Amino acid sequence: MGANSKSEGEWRAILSPEQFRILRQKGTEAPNTGSYNHHDAPGVYGCAGCGTPLYKSTTKFNSGCGWPAFFDAIPGAVSRHEDRSMFMTRTEITCTACGGHLGHVFKGEGFDTPIDERHCVNSVSLKFKEE
């Protein structure tokens, strides 16, 4: 049985209430409250739900948006979905392995990064592992 086939009860048993609200119910943490917003140690940010590596610290940048920002994900680790909630169309990003909600990706904002994208990720969705 893969990580994506866990029942709601199984997810509730392994995640904190805040992790469940964000990863499984597509919630959002308040801006400037996440533990990884100003985090800059070398390492890998994995999914807090299943542990799959998602982002390398070398792709993290300070966007000033209030959430951890990355300009690119580890290939294949993050999936994109159209999100039409909140009266707008955005691109939701999820963990490919377990389907956990990470945040949203924005394009064309003009940040000085190799790829003109900003993956705006909830700290609660992440678990950091130092190199």
Whether 65 is catalytic is no
Burial of 65 (0-12, 13-18, 19+ CB in 10 A): middle
Judge contact between 119 and 69, C-beta under 8 A: yes
Q: Which of 50, 95, 98, 120 is catalytic?
A: 120
Tokens representing 92 are 């939701």
Q: Which residue, 88, 73, 119, 94, is CA-closest to 22? A: 94
Q: Which residues are catalytic?
A: 120
